[in-house]
Amino acid sequence: MRINQIRNREVDVTLTSDELVAINNMLYERSEKEPLKSTMHSFAAEVITAMNLCQYGHLDSFAVTQIFKHQMKAGNVSKARLEKIINLLEEIKQ
């Protein structure tokens, strides 16, 4: 991790693909032990997005589903909207 800038209570950092994978794995392991707070669910969705784009250059249906599940748990997406998105992704897969 490289810290690029710290200003106005914000930090701009550069992470490698391996660091994103490690952060993602830590969040997953933590969520298996105890529920994440809503801010951590939002963070997890961002980490999954960055990790997949960095490693693969795209988001597959599994990643998108995980992102929306975290967004729903963070209170950013309704359960009905998530179900519509998951159904659409499953139709596209077939």
Q: How far is CA 42 from CA 37, 49, 58, 91, in A?
A: 9, 11, 19, 26
Work out the percent of the chain whose per-residue pLDDT is above 90. Answer: 67
In angstroms, the CA 13 to CA 16 distance is: 10
The whole-number pLDDT of residue 68 equals: 85
Domain boundaries of the chain, sorted by first residue: 2-93
Query: Does residue 94 register a pLDDT over 80?
Result: no
Q: Which residues of 6-37 are buried (b: 16+ CB within 10 A; e: fewer)?
A: eeeeeeeeebeeebbeebbeebeeeeeeeebe
Please state, rounded to an integer, the average pLDDT across all residues of the chain.
90
pLDDT digits 0-9 by tens, 19-64: 999 999 999 999 999 999 999 999 999 999 999 999 999 998 889 8
